[in-house]
Amino acid sequence: MDGLNRRNALKIGATLGAVGALAAAVPARAQPWTWSPEGSVAGAGAGADPMTVWDPEADQLVAGLIDRGEVPHVNNLLRTWTRNGQPLPAGLPNELRDFMEYARQLPQWADHGKLATAVQFNKKRGLYLGVLYGLASGMMSTVIPKEAKAVYYSKGGHDLKDRISKTAKLGYDIGTYNAYAPDGEMVVTCVKTRLVHAAVRHLLPQSPHWAHSAEEEIPISQNDMMVTWHSLPTTVMRHLTAWRVPIPPAESDAFLHSWQVAAHMLGIRDEYIPNTWADANSQAAQVLDPILAPTPEGAKLADRLLRLGTQLDLALLTKPVLGAFTRFLLGDQIADGLGIAREPVWDPLLRVSWGPFIAVREGILTVVPPTADAYWLFDEFLRQAALIYLAELRLPISIELPTMNRDLSQPPR
């Protein structure tokens, strides 16, 4: 395990969790919006239902770029913009340049001390984060109904591996030591992702397949982005807490803060970004937990994700093993809804041995119980999961604005 460094470990979940990295999601929330902006990082706000709020600053701008046919030229220029402190490339349309200069600024409430502490958290918990980003957050995205449909019918649904490599960048960049520093890449990744979201809002309503199945006219509202946000840090912290992983309060707060800054940089309004873990859990209980449900589109995406290990010929990353981990992390109801078969060996092995495995790794137990072989298998699973990223990711990664939706007449890749 020592041979797997933090850099590689943090890439695990970015691969399997690709469809979950702040993609389009529109949950069917029947209840009225009741979460108070007093629990946000802003501490106040208008209290508008986030399902009725999108990202007007970016949306009108990007729609114009698409309609005027300027996106290929913009994508070509933005391939050279890779570092947070790097000047924007010459030749960008003026209105785009002005927006990006504004959008790349960190919020005034960003705490660089907390961001530095978050680096320590990621270094110590990188292996757990990889599995959770991938098999908890990533697979959860396939049972967020509108997210699954939006991903499936957008251009990313055609070439899932390409989408994996690009959305992987968000999960990796947030865990780097210089994520928000001038020589880091997280700001660039967030701004480009914000532009991509705006492009999808403009393009996806033009897809007759999506329009036929969607319950809304415009995808990726503020509510939708927060749903997916909760599938990442909130879901991760819930599992770490349930596993009794000892986390100092300062590191827990710092991990949350790194994702609060990410939410802001992705265009989520401060009045919707939870201020504490208690606020996050309260909001997730309203917007995320009640809406998880399988769809035909989500089941197809899940099946393709679970087959990645088989395609890479990695011994422990077979579909049955990945399916068992998904069932263990997300529960029988979600696994059954995705059509994931029950595994007679791995299902009980995970239920019995994962808790002691965590305890041994954390030094809580001084005597290794008789299931030591299971612990080796879990460690090996973590190693091989990292290889998914290493095998699929081809550097440099370029997050680019789409110009079309998925062509369903072409077989997916």
How confident is the model over 144-200, as pLDDT tens digits? 998 888 888 876 555 655 655 566 678 778 888 899 999 999 999 999 999 999 999
The pLDDT assigned to 407 comes to 65
d(CA 181, CA 408): 41
The pLDDT assigned to 318 comes to 78
Q: Of 358 and 15, which is predicted with more confidence?
A: 358
List of long-range contacts for 247-255, beta carbons under 8 Å, 24+ apart: 247/121, 247/125, 250/117, 251/117, 251/118, 251/120, 251/121, 251/124, 252/121, 252/277, 253/114, 253/117, 254/114, 254/115, 254/116, 254/117, 254/118, 254/120, 254/121, 255/118, 255/121, 255/122
How confident is the model over 300-353, as pLDDT tens digits? 888 888 876 565 555 566 788 889 989 999 999 999 999 999 999 989 988 988
d(CA 7, CA 302): 26
Average pLDDT of 75-91? 97
The closest alpha carbon to 301, from 153, 146, 152, belongs to: 152
The pLDDT assigned to 390 comes to 40
d(CA 136, CA 260): 20
Residue 407: burial class (beta carbons within 10 Å; 0-12, 13-18, 19+)? exposed
The pLDDT assigned to 391 comes to 43
For 47, phi and psi rounded to 5 degrees?
80, 15
Tell whether the torsion through CA atoms of 406, 166, 205 and 97 is positive or negative.
negative
Q: How confident is the model at residue 12 (pLDDT cuts 50, 70, 90)?
A: very low
| Lowest-confidence pick of 117-126, 230-239, 362-371 | 362-371
Average pLDDT of 278-284? 97
Question: pLDDT at residue 25 above 50?
Answer: no
The closest alpha carbon to 9, from 164, 165, 174, 122, belongs to: 122
d(CA 22, CA 193): 8
Tell whether the torsion through CA atoms of 136, 1, 165 and 124 is positive or negative.
positive
Q: Report the amino acid identity of residue 197.
A: H
Question: pLDDT at residue 28 above 60?
Answer: no
The pLDDT assigned to 354 comes to 86
Q: How confident is the model at residue 105 (pLDDT cuts 50, 70, 90)?
A: very high
Q: How far is CA 36 from CA 109, 263, 317, 347, 380, in A?
A: 19, 18, 42, 40, 44
| Lowest-confidence pick of 162-176, 267-281, 354-368, 371-385 | 371-385
The answer to whether the bond into 396 is cis (omega within 30° of 0) is yes
Question: What is the SS3 string spanning 268-287?
Answer: CCHHHCECCHHHHHHHHHHH
